[in-house]
């Protein structure tokens, strides 16, 4: 069992090393994230200067550090829908089927390796900008390992949804279009651009139960406002969605593979 | 080749590209539909935002709609007509510029019209819908003129960013990030930024001239800002052409044989 997973661990390590080799690319990714945080600081700075010091339970400081986290988490994976989608559409996926590994798990290891490096650089860039223009905030160091678990589960959920959409591109034949729409759904309904508390009440209630909020909103909210009770609720929510998506992905993946065999025959 | 002949060439390229796209009609429609949905998601964020905070530094939701009309229409038109404008860095780095340099046409014009992005048709449709929603008919001539200048600014900035490949090697990622930065700053109201940031957004990264200044002109016309907008468009266009030409002189062909599809 452990040996079985060792190859995925190695794939993840290779992915980390590969990403680290593209220094300029990594720097450009981090710079852009820093620029977005700068824009958010200006936008929210104006909003807070017009009214109260507390909006939807967030101070300006909390709001910006919340956005540093959502930006880093949501934009850290590769364009998985396009990467896997192209392999599915071109039939390249059949090469992987002859190899002694599970295609989805291999892609997961690959994606997580890159996501961790992208997350770290984007988070550092965002933190530097936030630190300079807004200042730091009180971090509960002891809760950080728990927040890290929520982030890793959130990234796993992110990957599963993107992998599912990529497999669907076998029928729709346009992974880029799906990727476009999914990105924006997470940006808005996942709470990447603003916490769900600023939404109209009916929309807030819906989005809080959708899987997208477990990718951005909940991990970032725990990061700026940790409570043990919320932590357990988020973990349960993430695990439920992960299980639902794994089952769906396995079913859809097998239907797709069967169709690829027929086309190949 | 004369200016008119270049326009004929553009027409032929567009016809060929549309004919190719029509062979994959479902994907063509899907690309357009997905781009419209994509744009709708951005506007829905702003709807949520302005629902909570109705006025932000004198900007109201209708201003955001006008902003999306200008940004989407100008970006979309560039995408359909000059579809290669954000692929320049890659084309230069891969040595694919050889094809364009060997022909008796303006190489910059030829390379940027070499492809059409039909995703951008979604932006054009969405931009027009936003304009119909937010503008009165009397504002349309000025709106279209301002959109034309936004097109020039976007295009010039894309060319400058893409030309980086002439000077620093493969600048594909840097060019992409610069273009994204330009779109990001163009899609937020200029009045939210402090004075230093405003100065940068009206000079080095001319994002303020893309949408915020045109919106200000549509709301209350001012000759000074109108002339400054024209000046900025001309300066950036000349700068883009000069940088590209200097770059071409430094360009070293890899003698790479490529197929153009």
Tell me the per-residue pLDDT of B158-215, one tens digit each, with 9 for 90 and over.
Answer: 999 999 988 887 778 788 888 988 998 999 999 999 888 999 999 989 999 999 999 9
Residue among A96, A110, A119, A142 at smallest CA distance from A220: A119
Tell me the per-residue pLDDT of A7-21, one tens digit each, with 9 for 90 and over.
Answer: 888 888 888 888 787
pLDDT (average), residues A26-34: 84
A105, A12 contact by CB (below 8 A)? no
Residue B153 forms contact with A (CB below 8 Å): no
- The two tokens of residue B225 are 């800002």
How many domains are contained in chain A?
A: 1
| Res B159: pLDDT | 96
Query: CB neighbours of A23 closer than 8 A, spacing ≥ 6?
Result: none
Q: Does A26 score more than 90 pLDDT?
A: no
- The two tokens of residue B95 are 């040595």
Residue B180 forms contact with A (CB below 8 Å): yes
Query: pLDDT-based confidence at B261, cuts 50/70/90?
Result: low
- The two tokens of residue B249 are 């002189």
User: Which ipTM did the prediction report?
Assistant: 0.87
Spatial distance between the Cα atoms of B150 and B127, rounded to a whole number of angstroms? 13
User: Which residue range is the domain that position A108 belongs to?
Assistant: 2-262
pTM of the predicted protein model: 0.88
Q: Which residue reads 């030309």 in tokens?
A: B163
Spatial distance between the Cα atoms of B198 and B216, rounded to a whole number of angstroms? 14
> Which residues of B are less than 8 Å from A203 in CB distance?
48
DSSP state of A58: B
Q: What are phi and psi of B59, to 5 degrees?
A: -90, 135
pLDDT (average), residues B126-153: 96
Three-class SS of residue A209? Answer: coil
Query: pLDDT-based confidence at A6, cuts 50/70/90?
Result: confident
Residue B154 is inside which H or E element, if any?
helix B140-168
Query: CB neighbours of A72 closer than 8 A, spacing ≥ 6?
Result: A33, A118, A119, A122, A123, A126
Question: What is the length of chain A?
Answer: 265
Spatial distance between the Cα atoms of B225 and B238, rounded to a whole number of angstroms? 20
A179, B31 contact by CB (below 8 A)? no
Q: Does A4 score more than 50 pLDDT?
A: yes
Tell me the per-residue pLDDT of A77-104, one tens digit each, with 9 for 90 and over.
Answer: 877 887 787 777 777 777 777 777 888 8
Tell me the per-residue pLDDT of A150-171, one tens digit each, with 9 for 90 and over.
Answer: 999 999 999 999 999 888 877 7
Query: pLDDT-based confidence at A265, cuts 50/70/90?
Result: very low
Three-class SS of residue A182? Answer: helix
User: Which residue among B34, B41, B173 places its CB closest to the CB of A28?
Assistant: B173
| Res B132: pLDDT | 96
| Res A261: pLDDT | 59
Residue B194 forms contact with A (CB below 8 Å): yes
């Amino acid at each position: 069992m452990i040996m079985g997973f060792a190859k995925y661990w190695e794939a993840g390590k290779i992915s980390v090393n590969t990403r680290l080799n593209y220094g300029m690319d990594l720097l450009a990714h981090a710079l852009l994230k820093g620029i977005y945080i700068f824009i958010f600081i200006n936008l929210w700075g104006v909003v807070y200067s017009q009214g109260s010091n507390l909006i939807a339970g967030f101070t300006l400081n909390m709001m910006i550090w919340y956005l540093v986290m959502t930006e880093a988490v949501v934009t850290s994976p590769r364009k998985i829908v396009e990467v896997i989608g192209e392999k599915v559409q071109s039939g390249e996926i059949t090469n992987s089927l002859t190899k002694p590994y599970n295609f989805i798990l291999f892609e997961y290891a690959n994606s997580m390796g890159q996501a961790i490096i992208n997350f770290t650089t984007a988070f550092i860039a965002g933190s530097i900008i936030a630190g300079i223009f807004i200042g730091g905030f009180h971090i509960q160091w002891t809760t950080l390992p728990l927040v890290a678990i929520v982030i890793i589960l959130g990234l796993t959920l992110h990957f599963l949804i993107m992998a599912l959409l990529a497999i669907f591109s076998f029928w729709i034949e346009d992974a880029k279009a799906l990727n476009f729409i999914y990105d924006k759904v997470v940006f808005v309904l996942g709470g990447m651009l603003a916490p769900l508390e600023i939404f109209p009440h009916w929309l807030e209630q819906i989005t809080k139960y959708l899987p997208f909020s477990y990718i951005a909103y909940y991990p970032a909210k725990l990061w700026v406002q940790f409570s043990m009770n919320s932590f357990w609720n988020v973990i349960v929510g993430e695990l439920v969605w992960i299980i639902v998506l794994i089952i769906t992905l396995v079913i859809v993946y097998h239907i797709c593979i069967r169709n690829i065999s027929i086309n190949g025959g | 080749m004369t200016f008119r002949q270049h326009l004929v060439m553009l027409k032929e390229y567009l016809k060929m590209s549309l004919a190719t796209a029509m062979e994959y009609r479902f994907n063509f429609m899907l690309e357009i539909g997905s781009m419209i949905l994509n744009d709708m998601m951005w506007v829905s964020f702003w709807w949520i935002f302005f629902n909570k905070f109705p006025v932000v530094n004198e900007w109201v939701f209708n201003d955001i709609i006008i902003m999306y009309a200008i940004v989407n229409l100008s970006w979309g038109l560039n995408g359909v007509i000059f579809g290669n404008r954000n692929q320049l860095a890659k084309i230069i780095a891969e040595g694919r510029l050889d094809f364009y340099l060997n022909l008796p046409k303006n190489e910059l014009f030829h390379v940027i019209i070499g492809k059409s992005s039909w995703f951008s048709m979604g932006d054009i449709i969405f931009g027009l819908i936003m304009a119909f929603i937010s503008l009165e008919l009397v504002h349309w001539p000025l709106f279209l003129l301002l959109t034309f200048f936004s097109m020039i600014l976007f295009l010039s900035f894309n060319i400058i960013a893409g030309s980086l490949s002439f000077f620093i090697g493969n600048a594909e990622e840097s060019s992409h990030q610069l273009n994204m930065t330009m779109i990001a700053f163009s899609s937020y109201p200029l009045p939210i930024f402090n004075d230093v940031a405003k100065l940068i957004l009206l000079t080095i990264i001319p994002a303020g001239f893309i949408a915020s200044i045109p919106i200000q002109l549509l709301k209350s016309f001012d000759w000074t800002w109108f002339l400054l907008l024209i000046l900025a468009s001309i300066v950036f266009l000349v700068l883009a052409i000069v940088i590209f030409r200097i770059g071409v002189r430094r360009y070293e062909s890899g003698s790479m044989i490529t197929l153009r599809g």
